Structure 1
Amino acid sequence: MVGNSRTHRDRFYVLFRFFQLKAIVYFLYNLRLKGDVEGASEEIVKMLYGRESEVARIQSELEKCISSSCSMSIYISGPPGTGKTASVRTVLRNLSSRYRLIVISVNCVSVNTKAALLRAMLDKLPRSCPSGSSSTLRDNAEGLLRKADCPVILVLDEIDYVQTKNRGFIYAAFQWPSQFASLAVIAISNSLDLTERELPKLKLAVPPVLLPFAPYSKEDLQRILKNKLSSNNGVDERAVELCSRKVAAMTGDVRHAMQIAQRMLPDVRYVPFSSVSLKECAKRVGSADRGACPQVLGAVTNVYRSSLSRTRIPLQQKVLLATMLRLVDKHRSTVLDKGVLLDAYERVCNMISLPTADTSGTNAALSLLESLSLLKSNAHECQLLIDAQTAIDYMADSTLFAQINNLALN
Structure 2
Amino acid sequence: MLTLSTRKSRRQPAPKSPQKSPGRLTLSPLQLTPKKRLSRSIPSSPLGLSPVRLSPGKKAVTCKGRKLGVAAVNTSRHKAVCEVLHTSVPEHLSCRQRQTNDIKEFISECLSQSCAGSMYISGAPGTGKTACLQKVLADPEIEDIQQVWVNCMSLKSTGAIYSHLVSKISGKRGNTKERDAVKTLEKKLTSSGEMILVVLDEIDHLEGKNQNILYTIFEWPMLKNSRLVLIGIANALDLTDRLLPRLTAHVQMKPTLLHFPSYSKQDIAQIIYSRLDMVEGSEEVIAPAAVHLLAGKVAAVAGDARKALAVCRRAVEVVERKVRRQLLINLDENVDVNSPRKTTSGVVGPAVILQVFNEVYENVVVQQCQSGVADSFPIHQKLALCSLLLLMKHGWSKEAPMGKLHEIYSRVCRGRHVVPVTQSEFCSVMEMVQARGIIAIKNNRESRLSKLSLMLDEQELVCAMQDKELLADILRDATFARK
TM-score, structure 2 as length reference: 0.55
- Residues 184-236 of structure 1: CA deviation (Å, up to 9, x unaligned): 11010111111221222243433111101000111111011112134542320
Q: Flag the 1:326–1:155 CA change in 2: closer, same or farther, 3 A.
A: closer
Deviation at 1:149, TM superposition (A): 0.9
| AA partner of residue 298 (structure 1) | Q
Contact 1:155 1:186 survives alignment (8 Å) = yes
* Aligned-residue RMSD, C-alpha: 4.2
Tell me the distance in 1 between the aligned counterparts of 2:149 and 2:365.
28
Alignment of 1:107-186 (within 5 A): 107-111=151-155, 113-126=157-170, 128-147=172-191, 149-165=193-209, 167-179=211-223, 180-186=225-231
Contact 2:410–2:420 (CA under 8 A) maintained in structure 1: no
AA aligned to 2:176 is G
Q: How far did residue 61 of structure 1 move?
A: 0.4
Q: Is 1:388 matched up with 2:459?
A: yes
Q: Give the number of equivalent residue pairs.
A: 309
Q: Distance in 2 between matches of 1:148 and 1:300?
A: 54
Residue in 2 aligned with 1:313? Answer: none
**CA separation of 1:387/1:289 partners in 2, compared to 1, >3 Å: closer, same or farther?**
farther
The higher radius of gyration belongs to 2
Q: Which has the higher helix share?
A: 1
Structure 1 contact 113–166 (Cα < 8 Å) conserved: no
For residues 261-340 of structure 1, the aligned pairs below 5 Å read 261-266=312-317, 289-305=346-362, 321-323=385-387
Give the residue type in structure 1 aligned to 2:221.
P
Whether the 8 Å CA contact 2:146–2:197 is kept in 1: the answer is yes
Instruction: Say which structure, 1 or 2, has more relative contact order (CA 8 Å, 6+ apart).
Output: 1
Aligned partner of 2:306 in structure 1 is 255
Q: Deviations over 1:346-393 (max 9, x none)?
A: 632544525799xxxxxx999955xx7x6xxxxxxxxxxx35335766
Q: Secondary structure at the match of 1:109?
A: helix
Find 1:82's aligned residue among 118, 122, 127.
Answer: 127
- Give the residue type in structure 2 aligned to 1:173: I
What is the one-letter code of the residue matched to 1:89? Q
Q: Following TM superposition, by how much is the alpha carbon of 1:58 offset from its aligned partner in structure 2, in angstroms? A: 0.2
Query: Do residues 215 (structure 1) and 262 (structure 2) align?
Result: yes
Where 1:80 maps in the other structure, the secondary structure is coil
With over 3 angstroms needed to count, the CA separation of the structure-2 counterparts of 1:263 and 1:123, relative to structure 1, is: same
1:242 and 2:293 matched:
yes
Alignment deviations for residues 154-202 of structure 1 (CA, whole Å, 9 cap, x no partner): 1111122224238322211111111043311101011111122122224
- Distance 1:299-1:99 versus aligned 2 partners, 3 A rule: closer
Task: Rate the CA distance shift 1:57–1:326 in 2: closer, same or farther, 3 A.
Answer: closer
User: Hey, what's the Cα distance between the residues in 1 that align with 2:151 and 2:354?
Assistant: 34
SS of 2:170's partner is coil
- Cα gap change, 1:127 to 1:111, in 2 (>3 Å): closer
Choose from 391, 398, 411 the match for 1:347.
411
Counterpart-to-counterpart distance in 2, 1:172 and 1:144: 15
1:58 aligns to what? 103
Moved more, 130-139 or 99-108: 99-108
Shift of the alpha carbon at 1:59? 0.2
SS of residue paired to 2:297: helix
SS of 2:153's partner is: coil
Answer yes or no: is the 8 Å Cα contact 2:211–2:244 preserved in 1.
no
| AA partner of residue 293 (structure 1) | P
- Paired residues of 1:112 and 1:161 also in contact (CA < 8 A): no
Q: How far apart, in 1, do the equivalents of 2:390 and 2:165 lie?
A: 43
Paired AA for residue 260 in structure 1: V
Answer whether contact 2:298 2:307 (CA < 8 A) is retained.
yes
The Cα shift of 1:107 comes to 0.5
